[in-house]
Structure 1
Amino acid sequence: MPIGPEHEGRVYPPTRPYRVSRAKIAEFAAALGDTNPRYCEDAEPVVAPPTFAAVIAARAWQALFDDPELGLELQRIVHAEQRLDIVRPLREGDDVLATLTISKVRSRSTTDMVTIAVRLDAVAGDVLGTATSLLIHTHPEALA
């Protein structure tokens, strides 16, 4: 059975902790061309750009593609929307868990629109935020 509204509310186990490091923050900021001194390796304390949360959230997506019941394939996905609701900035040394929930599924002909929410929590207990994405999935028969 392919993904459908009956899968709304499905929650996957959290990812293994992701360690936020100075080096990864600096690499990410450099890739964005963001020269804010708070993101450089020499800053005290080092915080991550808000969009760094998407890096960690995307690690939780693998659970969708590994779920044989859903029939989702990455090569047929378009990442259509992204919203980050940040509770507190990610900081160097944070160990972050990402827990994915399927929030909404709409199917139209050979296309599924899947809204997912990935909650980010520090292993230490802090709620860090939520990354919400809309994924558009095309069925294989649409490509024939």
Structure 2
Amino acid sequence: MPITAEHVGRTYPDAPVYEVSRAKIAEFARALGDDNPAYFADSPIAPPTFAAVIAAHAWEALFGDPDLGLALNRTVHADQSFVFHRPLAAGDDVVAKLTIEKVRNRGPLDIVTILVDLVVDGATACEARSTLMHTRETAHA
């Protein structure tokens, strides 16, 4: 069964807690080539796109849901946006909560918008929204 608008609103169990550390922040910043001192301070904050690393952990439940028929090898990450309520920082224990927000079907293409709330101490620190374009598997004659 392909993913449809009927799946909008579906939520998944929380991803395992992700502990943000000074080392992970520094490693990510170095990979970006970003030497902003805020990422290397005694109490560093994470670069904004670090949120994508944590959000991606929640995707495992989405791609593991047999009702949806999604396959990572037929998926393109088309768009990403973040709404920050506060920066992610070293010492944060982040829980990622995924919800399907929107589904559009165009021929063999499924366009799926997902929201991953990144929650720290019971409050959303960041909303990571992604649009995924997924090509359904076609039957071969």
Instruction: Provide the rounded CA distance (Å) in 1 between the counterparts of 2:4 and 2:106.
Output: 10
Instruction: Provide the rounded CA distance (Å) in 2 between the counterparts of 1:142 and 1:15.
Output: 33
Q: Paired residue for 1:113?
A: 111
Instruction: Provide the rounded CA distance (Å) in 1 between the counterparts of 2:29 and 2:140.
Output: 37
Structure 1 position 38, deviation (Å): 1.1
Partner-residue secondary structure (3-state), 1:6: helix
Q: Residue 128 in 1 paired to residue 125 in 2?
A: yes
Letter of the 1:138 partner, please give it: T
Contact 2:80–2:131 (Cα < 8 Å) also in 1: yes
Mind listing any 5+ residue stretches in structure 1 that lack a counterpart? none
Partner-residue secondary structure (3-state), 2:126: strand
Contact 2:2–2:136 (Cα < 8 Å) also in 1: no
Normalising by structure 2, we get a TM-score of: 0.96
Partner-residue secondary structure (3-state), 2:138: helix
Letter of the 1:94 partner, please give it: D
Normalising by structure 1, we get a TM-score of: 0.94
Counterpart pick for 1:94 among 92, 95, 101: 92
The Cα offsets for residues 56-100 of structure 1, whole Å up to 9 and x where unpaired, read as 001000111110000000000000000011110011010000000
Q: Paired residue for 1:5?
A: 5
Q: Give 4+ residue runs of structure 1 displaced > 4 Å after superposition.
A: none
Instruction: Provide the rounded CA distance (Å) in 1 between the counterparts of 2:66 and 2:139.
Output: 20
Percent pairwise identity: 60
Partner-residue secondary structure (3-state), 1:141: coil
- Count matched residues: 141
Structure 1 position 126, deviation (Å): 2.9
> Aligned in 2, Cα 1:46/1:142: closer, same or farther, shift over 3 Å?
farther
Instruction: Provide the rounded CA distance (Å) in 1 between the counterparts of 2:3 and 2:54.
Output: 24
Partner-residue secondary structure (3-state), 1:50: coil
Contact 2:110–2:134 (Cα < 8 Å) also in 1: yes
> Aligned in 2, Cα 1:109/1:94: closer, same or farther, shift over 3 Å?
same
Partner-residue secondary structure (3-state), 1:128: strand
Letter of the 1:77 partner, please give it: T
Mind listing any 5+ residue stretches in structure 2 that lack a counterpart? none
Letter of the 1:139 partner, please give it: R
Q: CA RMSD in A?
A: 1.4
Contact 1:80–1:135 (Cα < 8 Å) also in 2: yes
Structure 1 position 8, deviation (Å): 0.3
